[in-house]
Amino acid sequence: MPIFEYECGACGGRLERLVRNAGDVPKSCPACGARKISKVLSTFSVGAAPAHKHEHTPSAACSSCSSSGACPYGG
Ligand SMILES: [Zn+2]
């Protein structure tokens, strides 16, 4: 489910919304009413995964590397 996190630019409050269409996007802060809501990039929404971090040493591929085969260090 596409649950997005938003942050209020005025009070810094966070809110989460289940967004199924554009009408579900919050337009104002429920806490202070400011219309400074910006979307927070959450760790849940990794659609097109950016280059993942390599916590491992070049000689040992991490689990995500070995499954995707995209690791320059793996294999
Ligand atoms: Zn606010």
Confidence band of 75 (pLDDT split at 50, 70, 90)? very low
Q: Collapse the DSSP code of 69 into the 3-class scheme (helix H, G, I; strand E, B; otherwise coil) and give the result.
A: coil
- For residue 17, the enclosing domain spans 1-44
- Answer whether residue 25 is part of any domain: yes
Helix (H), strand (E) at residue 64: helix 63-68
How far, in Å, is the centroid of ligand 1 from the Cα of 65? 40
56, burial (CB in 10 Å: exposed 0-12, middle 13-18, buried 19+): middle
- Confidence (pLDDT) at 56: 55
- Calculate how far, in angstroms, residue 38's C-alpha sits from the geometric centre of ligand 1: 11
Q: Does the pLDDT value for residue 7 go beyond 60?
A: yes
d(CA 41, CA 50): 13
- The Cα–Cα gap between 75 and 72 comes to 8
Tens-place pLDDT, residues 13-67: 999 999 898 889 999 999 999 999 999 876 554 555 555 555 555 555 566 665 6
The SS3 of residue 46 is: coil
- Ligand 1 center from residue 1 Cα (angstroms): 25
CATH of the domain at 34: 2.20.28
Tally of domains in the chain: 1
Residue 39 in any domain: the answer is yes
Cα(47) to ligand 1 centroid in Å equals 28
